[in-house]
Structure formats: C-alpha cells, structure tokens
Structure 1
Amino acid sequence: MMMNNQRDWWKKAVVYQVYPKSFQDSNGDGIGDLNGITQKLAYIKSLGADVVWLNPIYQSPHVDNGYDIADYYQIDADLGSMADFDRLLTTAHQLGLKLILDLVVNHTSDQHRWFQEAKSSRDNPYHDYYIWQDAVSGQVPNNWGSSFGGSTWEYVPAVDQYYLHLFAKEQPDLNWRNPQVRQAVYDIMRFWLDKGIDGFRMDVINLISKVAGFPDGPIIQNKQYGDYYVGTANGPHVHEYLQEMNEQVLSHYSVMTVGETPHTGVQDAVPYVDARRHELDMVFHFDHMHLDYGKYGKFSTNRFKLTDLKRVLSEWQTTIAEHQGWNSLYWSNHDQARAVSRFGNDSVYRVASAKMLGTLLHMLQGTPYIYEGEEIGMTNVNYRDIQSYDDIETQDVFKRLTQIENLPVQKVMEMIHCKSRDNARTPMQWNRSTNAGFSIKQPWLKVNPNYTVVNVATAQADPQSIWYYYQRLIKLRHQYDIVTTGTYQLLDPDNPLVFAYTRTTATQQLLVVCSFATHISDWAIPVSLQSKKWQPLIDNYPIVADNETANLTLQPYEAKVFLRAL
C-alpha cells in the first residue's frame, strides 16, 4: 500500500509490535537489540505491515522490563546506541515502514534524575514532579494496592512523606497537575518526533490524572488492598491534559497515537477517540481481555464465552464508529497471553484457529496490531519452575497465591502458564537452530521448546502456513476499502460456536463467518443475506465450490469471508 500524507493514514495501516529484548540479538549477548530489529525490518515489510511499534527502548534499570525509564533521551545500553536507533529509523523509512515508540509518562524510574532530586528535600523544585502525601494517623495515605504487590505508597524518611506508585515501588507516579511536568513530557515527545518517528503508543495514559483526596478503593477479591482504579482511571483532568498535549505537540506532526486505557469501558473511551475532540486516534481497551477473569482475576484459568466476546467487540465496533472514533484491534501483546493459546486451540487446531482469529480481527473496522510471533502461531510457554519466569507480576502472583492463598504450587503454575506476561516475551522463533535463531548465546528468557516446529523458516517454507495467510489478510485490507469504511453488523449474537458479521458500504458487502467449534458444524445464512452473488474472498480451508445459498458447512475453526456487490 502506498502511504499518503493524509493525517488519518493509520486507518488503512497494519501495525507490527516488536518487543525489543525478544526479537533478534545481533551481538550475541542473549538480549534482543536495535540492530537485530534493523536486520529484520525486511521481514516485517514482506509480511505486509505498514507500522512497527517498539516497546520501550530508553535507559532503564529494567525492574519492569523497560517500563521504568531512567532517561527518556538515552537508548538503553543493552539495546544499543542512539546511532543504532537512527539507523533503524532511516532503514524503516527507506522500506516504506513507519515507526512508533512507547511513551511511558504516568511514571518514571526511581533512578530518574527528577526523582533523585525529588526525594532529597520537600524544598527541591523537583519534589512537586511526583505525588507525595503525608501519613494519615501514622498510616499510609489510603488502601490502594499496587499492580505488582504491596501498597501503592512508599515512605521516604528524608522528606517524611509517602510517594505514589501504581506499579512497582521503583516506578513513582508523575504529578501531572504540575505544568512543568507536562511541559517536560512535551519536550520529550518533540525530541523523538523531530527525529522523525511516526507516533506513540502511550502507556496507561488514562491514569495520569488522580482524583483529589485519594479515596480508598474497594478491596479486591483475594487481596488485602483496595483497587486504585477508583481514583486514577479516567480522572478529572485527563482529557484536559490530552487536549493540551494534542494542541501543543501532536497537531504539529502527521503521526498516529494509541493510548493504553485500562479500566475503560466503551462509553469512557469515546471522549479519547472522538476526532472532534482532538485527543488520541485510538485506544487499547481491555474489555475482551477480561472475559476469562474469575476468582483470581487475570490469573484465573477460565475460558471465555464466545457470546460475551461477540457482545464486547460488537459494542466497541458500533459505539466508536457512531462517535467518529477509531478502534484498535488486537488479540495479544507484551502483557497478554498468546492469542492462539487464549482464544484459539494451540494443540490439534493451532494452525486453523490462528488463521481464524486473524480473519475475525483483520476484517473488523480499526487498525490491526500483530504481536511478534502471532503471524506464525507462537503459543504460551510452559516452564516447569517459577525460577524460569522473569516477569515481576508473575513472581508476585506466585508468591501471593502460594504463600497467602496457600494454593498448591502445581495449580499456581497452571495459572501462570495460562496468563503470565512471559508467554508473550519468550524469544522470537526464527528457525530450528540453537535458541531458535534468536541468539548464539542463552537468551535472557528461555525459548519456548516448541520452536523446532513453530518458527519462521518452517512457516515460510509452507505455502499453507499461518504466515502466508496473514500476508493475504493484510493485502485484502490494503486492497478493499470496505474493510476500512464498511458499517459493522453482528449476526446471530446468541450462537455459542460461530462469530459472524457483515461490513457494508453503499456498493459492497462483506460476510465474515468464523467457527470456534472443534467439530464440523452448520451455520444458517440469514434470509436477508441469502444470495448467489457472494464470491469467496478468503478461507482458511481449501475453498470448495458450493452453490448452497442458505447454509454453510464449517470445518473446525474455519473462517470464511465473502464479498458481493450491492
């Protein structure tokens, strides 16, 4: 697809997400790096993607794998140098790829110069860059529990105050009420935009405005602390801040923005993405990610219900479109389980279900995000012991569930196998050689043992592989405007096995039918859609000539897309 200069170029684009530490190691230290990404840009281009999104590449102590930033203007030494980044950016643009970076400005690392100054004295000018509270009757300011265990408040004797950290204690939250903080953030953004990057993914951006008074949150089930979202999610000034950011920075560049917005329903999301409000282009919501939550929250081993998935995705499709907004489309990312393991079938029907999930997502309205390895059907990893896991969240959950909840270790390991963030962070599986071709040295995180079967080289040698199927899906999005502009309508909402919908313009209509069944099933085409005009557009099984206009016979995890003129 030829990219144009229109400000909404991202509407027809497909984004490929790269987790830098796990993509490709170029210098043999076991850690992926920028030069490794540069080496593989041609691979991403050949798949058909238009945009590459990099998780944080800035200087960091890596308490939270780069989401604790110590210097926004420096490249992390493990990943390379600024010269390496400049080469990466230049190469991407030469290939016709755009590049977006992670913007992490709800919090910094406690090693950031600002915080080092802030904790030294209440009189230090940087003290007000962060959120401080005095003790309340000798206790922490409220009952909020951090995402990685313990209280969200950490005491600093030198100033006799607590600072707020929604995540690890090494990740103090910035005080966005301070205009100097906001201007400092805008300066960081301009630095990278002036280098020529093409946009930002904004980490937990809806949490930057806290509710005054820091009210206690409801106690989270199976935890001793309160839910901090009550005083942080979609706070009182967040839209004011984002509009200021847009006016002062983003509006001066032709870029894309996507905000990560946990604890945000579709109605909450509308103000962020309504084009008339000039805030963000799209947001990552979590409604479909929460469908399999249960007694132990994210780490429950429940299976989602298809009727719930249809309801949630359909609500986002219709509501966002009604308000002149735009959807992000994703099954997985660096914080989530592998798509085919969570929503598909990663054993007998790994290939078929991975293709089906790709079809369902890429035919929706919005910008699709492909997480590295999704295009070859990479699966969750099943490490045998907790020591093999690196993720701070996973380690906290294991400790809490085994020591406080007294659950059997085997049970907790099953939960971690389902939901650990490390499922997504295992090294990219390039070929059958040692360490999956990721590195000549033992990687920072163990490779999934199934790399001898699931890898890029094997996929590219098979014309029927998931890889080539994804390539076809991307071509269809680029070729047919209806995939970008068509109106969405859900069909057969109560069917527990089939997700079917139409996309319609004044002159064309798409019919998308996706089976989630492990057996052959029949699906009745609605009477209003029964027609001999339908032409097969793509199918993850060999297309069989069929003149039947009233019913479709679907193979396990089959996906069918038809097109007709109106």
Structure 2
Amino acid sequence: MQNLIDQPKVALTGPKYWWQKEVFYQIYPASFKDSNNDGIGDIPGIIEKLPYLKNLGITAIWLSPIYQSPMVDNGYDISDYQAINPSFGTMADFDTLMAKAKALDIKIIMDLVINHTSDQHRWFQAALKDPNSPYRDYYIFKPGVNGGPPNNWRSNFGKGSSWTEVPGEANMYYHHVFSPQQPDLNWENPKLRQTIYHMINWWLDKGLAGFRIDAITFIKKDQDFAAITPDGQDGLGKVKRKTENRPGLDAFLTELKQATFQKHDAVTVGEASGVQYDQLPQFIGKKGYFSMIFDFHYADIDVASGSEWYKRIDWTVPEFKALLFKSQLAIQATGWGANFLENHDQPRSISKYIRDPKYQNTIGAKALATLYFCLRGTPFIYQGQEIGMVNALRQDINAFNDVSSHDNYQRAIAEGYGAKVALACVNQRSRDNSRTPFQWSAGVNAGFNQGHQPWLGLAQNWQQLNYQTEKDDPASTFNFYRQLIALRNHSQFSADLIYGAIAPLTAPDDVVAYRRGDSLQVYVNLSSDQQTLNVTPKALILNNYDTLIQTDQTIELKPYQAILIEVDEHGN
C-alpha cells in the first residue's frame, strides 16, 4: 500500500473555523503516565509523553479534569476551579505543559464542569454552614415534602433520590443530578453565572484553546420541581425528565457564549445529551452555542439509556447504521460534529462494537478506526484507543472504582437481576473500562510507573498489547492510526476527508458504507461473514487486511474488513 505518512503537506481550503481540521486526543490524567510513582498519572507524565503524541500526529489535547477535587467522581467533582489537584501536580506544571505543547504546535482544551461542584467547594461549605449565606443561593435547596425529599426524582447515576438532606437542618434538602457529593449549581442566580464566566475567562486568558463542556444540558431545571410518574420499582423517576435540555436553557447558553467563548475564538465541544436533531441549529448552527457537539444517539445503542446501562440492548448493524447516518446527516445539514468511539464514560470500542471475539484484535480495531475517523467532523481519539486497548474483566463488584458502576449494580439487583447477570452488565459498560492505566510496555505495571500499585487495576492483556510492541510494527493499530491522521490532514485526500460532504451508500446490511466528497468511499464489514460489494475502485487507499479479493466488478470483504477507496468522480 502507498505510504502516505511522509508525503508533503497539502494546503487546505474550506470553512474558516480552525478547529475543523484538528485531531483531538483525550487524556484521562490519572491513567496516562505516572511520573512520580505514587500510582496516579500526573501532568509531568503528560509532559514526558508529548513527543509520543506528536509522533502519533494529533494536533490538540483534551484534558479530563485536573482541578482540585476530592475525586469522588474522578475529578468531575471540583472543589476549586482555579487550582490544580495536588495528585496531578501544580499550576507551574500546568504552565510548563502549556508551553511545551505550544512549542510542538499542540493545542490544549480542558473539561468545563459547571452544572455542579464538589460538596467540598468553599461555596457549598459556606451554604451549609449558614442558611442566610449568599452562597445558599449558589445551589438548589428545597424543603422536604411529607417527611421526605421535595420530589421523587432519581439521581442520574441510577440509584436513589437526587436530593440529600442537609446535615443538621431538619426537612431541608439540596439537589444533585449526579452523586450526593456533586451538588448542582443554581443557574437561576445571575451572580453565580457571572462568577462562573469570570473563571472561564481566567483560563482562556492563560492560553487554553477552549473547553469540552460537561453535562451542559442539565444546567436548567424545571422550576416547579414537581413529582413525576415513577419508572422503576423504587417509586422514583429519571431526574433528566425535569432537568435535561429543558425550556429556558437557550438563554443560559447564549449568555455563556457571549460572555466567554466568543471573545476568545475558543473551540467548544458540548456534551449535549438530550438534544434532538431539530434543535441542532441552536446548538451548532452558524450562531449556535458551541463549535460542535458529541452525539450519543448511536454511541448508546447498547443500553436502554445512558444512565441505566444495566438494561442491555442486543443491537444490530442495520440499527447502528441507521443511527450513525441519521446523526451525520442531521449534523451536516446544520454545522459540525465531534466524532468518537470512546471516552472516559464509554467502554472500550473493540469490546463494545466487535461482536465476534475472534476479531476483538487488530483487525477489529482498524475496522472501527476506519469507520469513524473518515466520518465528517473532527475526530477525537481516547487514550489507548490508538493501540487497541480492550475492556478489563473484574470478578467482584468491589473491584470497581467507578461510582456509577456500583449504583448500576445495586439498581440491577433491585430490579430483579441476579448478581451474576448484574456483574456481567457492569463489566460490559463500566466507566472503569476506559480508565485502566495506559499500556506503554510489557514492563512493570505496563510502563505506567515504576512499580507502585496503580490507582486502578490494569486490563488483563497488557503484556501482549502495549505501545512498545506496536511502535515499530508497520501493521500495528498504532501505525494504522498514524496513517489515518496523515491521510486526513496531510495528503491529497485531505480536502475531501475534512470538508467533503458525507452520503450513505447502498451496501449489504452488515456493511457500513458512505461517500466522502466526490471521489472517496468507505466500506466497513461489521460481521463475521464475507460480504460482496458491487464497486470498482480507481485506487485502494486504506485496507485493514493485507489483501483484497477483487474482480472486475466486485469486491469481497472478509469478516470485519474495512477499506477506503478512491473512485471516479460521481461514480458508484
């Protein structure tokens, strides 16, 4: 196959937005590289691995939270927005990371978590201490009803009420969409909003390129705080029915953009759960709130809902295709999307999307990489995805760190699932799957550190699957990702792969097929059966197998084979 990695760069033309041609890499700091051997990854570890990221070819880093935090939800419970958690390093370390990344022409964005704080945040502590404190109005406090919580809303983590009684204050509760240690901020308070905006601008002034914005569609709550029809044996109902993407959210998001992001030409990636496709113009249109959004409609195909993933769904490839193309075409008609297979909240994609265990390997990893990386939108790679990391397997619920894994396990038990089935569900979907330490080598602790027990146990296959075994293998998953990045950003195909329109193509049921631009076509067989394509390529650009079975008018795709081909313009 033609080597495209070292070809000269091709000048790109197209829309004016700089972030459209970036390739993002998400780092989960606790699990990336531990520089001081305390068991927790850190900022100096990220600095150490910047040359690795440059070699991979990425152009921007998304850092999961490194703010000061008690780490109940692994940093998504922030106790100080303008301080670095000591386990990750210091603000001086962060400034060094920014400078060294800039020298390598790598941008950095951070997580922005502004639906809630930690219960250890000084604002919340002041609110608890004094009911008359102005900080009481920074959060949502309500009196109980009939000796219980204000209503029957269930926490989004799957178990128990979204209300917790205030210690030492009878019949008074505070609200939390997520865990009790993550009290929700009261966005109805203008003073709170201005304080948040000041913090955001402080970070942007430091040189951040932008933010991935966490749980942002939850900041507006229905102000009637009314009870809802129960949807479980516990008599509670999903909190998102009254708190996710609710009327009035538009005013908050418009003000947020105008007061912060718009002033800095910042890239913003919204975690926009609950957004319907007919609302996309508001979110990512020309005057939308964000640069792009993550769409979870197809990513959550395997579960009944994103927060109740103990309810498994046996999806089919045609169903997956329909959701994928519906998403791509809706976003294309409006604006720009952020394409992903994995993140810190999702299981490993090979374990999730490759149904046949025989192909949960390099073949499957490359098939999925081809499928999503060539879609229209900005690609996001999650750490370890580029070497083909897979889910871990744990034998006991107590081996899980993730708070939502424990909640889903208990909820499954309460709903009548047996312990074995409940544990299997958690193993398939736990957020711990993507949070296991990066597998750098076959050495001690997979090269994550020098021997101190990592904060989370390694996945079982680290001695066989790691960066050290892949870096010099031209057929490795790692080098396949390097080639994909080079094709997208530095080849004669860049204009089509970045800016070209996407259109689904007719193909067998188990083949995902689409066109990019005028002359590129992608075919990915997501089954264990050989599939016949009626297509004649002008050139084979990318193939996850060593060979391709081809006649004058047809191509035979082997199980989980994926190809990117060039065809005559407007050819079928």
TM-score category, normalised to shorter length: over 0.9
1:69 to 78, 101, 104: 78
Asked whether the equivalents of residues 15 and 53 of structure 1 are also in contact (C-alpha less than 8 Å), the reply is yes
- In 1, distance between residues paired with 2:356 and 2:433? 13
Shift of 1:218: 4.0
Q: For residues 140-539 of structure 1, what are the structure 2 equivalents within 5 Å?
A: 140-148=149-157, 149-156=159-166, 157-158=168-169, 160-221=171-232, 223-277=234-288, 279-294=289-304, 297-323=308-334, 325-345=335-355, 347-349=357-359, 350-402=361-413, 404-440=414-450, 441-478=452-489, 479=491, 480-492=494-506, 495-504=508-517, 508-525=518-535, 534-539=538-543
Q: Deviations over 1:364-415 (max 9, x none)?
A: 101111111000110000012222210111112223333x245332222211
**Percent identity among equivalent residues?**
38
Asked whether the equivalents of residues 305 and 496 of structure 1 are also in contact (C-alpha less than 8 Å), the reply is no
1:111 partner letter: Q
| Unmatched runs of 5 consecutive residues or more in structure 1 | 526-530
Shift of 1:269: 3.5
SS at match of 2:287: helix
Q: Deviations over 1:251-303 (max 9, x none)?
A: 121321101122223223331111223x1011112111221124994124444
Shift of 1:347: 3.7
Shift of 1:209: 0.9
Note if 1:80 corresponds to 2:83: no
SS at match of 1:513: strand
Shift of 1:138: 3.3
1:561 to 556, 560, 564: 564
Asked whether the equivalents of residues 309 and 425 of structure 2 are also in contact (C-alpha less than 8 Å), the reply is no
Note closer, same or farther for the CA distance 1:4–1:84 as it changes in structure 2 (3 Å cut).
farther
Asked whether the equivalents of residues 22 and 58 of structure 2 are also in contact (C-alpha less than 8 Å), the reply is yes
> 1:528 aligns to what?
none
1:407 partner letter: Y
2:118 to 109, 134, 148: 109
SS at match of 1:395: helix
Note closer, same or farther for the CA distance 1:203–1:346 as it changes in structure 2 (3 Å cut).
farther
2:136 partner letter: H
- In 2, distance between residues paired with 1:7 and 1:170? 42
Shift of 1:555: 1.1
Bigger RCO (CA 8 Å, 6+ sep):
2
- In 2, distance between residues paired with 1:222 and 1:482? 51
Note closer, same or farther for the CA distance 1:212–1:484 as it changes in structure 2 (3 Å cut).
same
SS at match of 1:384: coil
1:138 to 133, 147, 157: 147
| Unmatched runs of 5 consecutive residues or more in structure 2 | 1-8
Asked whether the equivalents of residues 53 and 102 of structure 1 are also in contact (C-alpha less than 8 Å), the reply is yes
> 1:90 aligns to what?
99
Note if 1:41 corresponds to 2:50: yes
Shift of 1:212: 1.7
1:356 partner letter: A
Asked whether the equivalents of residues 14 and 499 of structure 2 are also in contact (C-alpha less than 8 Å), the reply is no
SS at match of 1:268: helix
1:436 partner letter: A
Q: Which is further off, 513-522 or 131-140?
A: 131-140
SS at match of 2:153: coil
Asked whether the equivalents of residues 120 and 158 of structure 1 are also in contact (C-alpha less than 8 Å), the reply is no
Note closer, same or farther for the CA distance 1:276–1:266 as it changes in structure 2 (3 Å cut).
same
Asked whether the equivalents of residues 332 and 338 of structure 1 are also in contact (C-alpha less than 8 Å), the reply is yes
2:132 to 109, 120, 123: 123
> 2:32 aligns to what?
23
1:459 partner letter: E
Asked whether the equivalents of residues 124 and 139 of structure 2 are also in contact (C-alpha less than 8 Å), the reply is yes
Shift of 1:492: 2.6
Shift of 1:523: 2.3
Asked whether the equivalents of residues 58 and 485 of structure 2 are also in contact (C-alpha less than 8 Å), the reply is yes
SS at match of 1:16: strand
Asked whether the equivalents of residues 64 and 110 of structure 2 are also in contact (C-alpha less than 8 Å), the reply is yes
Q: Deviations over 1:91-113 (max 9, x none)?
A: 11111100000000000001101
SS at match of 2:474: coil
Note closer, same or farther for the CA distance 1:267–1:216 as it changes in structure 2 (3 Å cut).
farther
Asked whether the equivalents of residues 389 and 422 of structure 1 are also in contact (C-alpha less than 8 Å), the reply is yes
Shift of 1:544: 4.2
Shift of 1:248: 1.6
- In 2, distance between residues paired with 1:38 and 1:266? 39
1:322 partner letter: A
Shift of 1:51: 0.8
- In 2, distance between residues paired with 1:258 and 1:369? 11
- In 1, distance between residues paired with 2:548 and 2:412? 51
SS at match of 1:240: helix
Asked whether the equivalents of residues 69 and 79 of structure 2 are also in contact (C-alpha less than 8 Å), the reply is yes
SS at match of 2:134: coil
Note closer, same or farther for the CA distance 1:353–1:303 as it changes in structure 2 (3 Å cut).
farther
- In 1, distance between residues paired with 2:382 and 2:356? 16
1:257 partner letter: T
- In 1, distance between residues paired with 2:223 and 2:30? 38
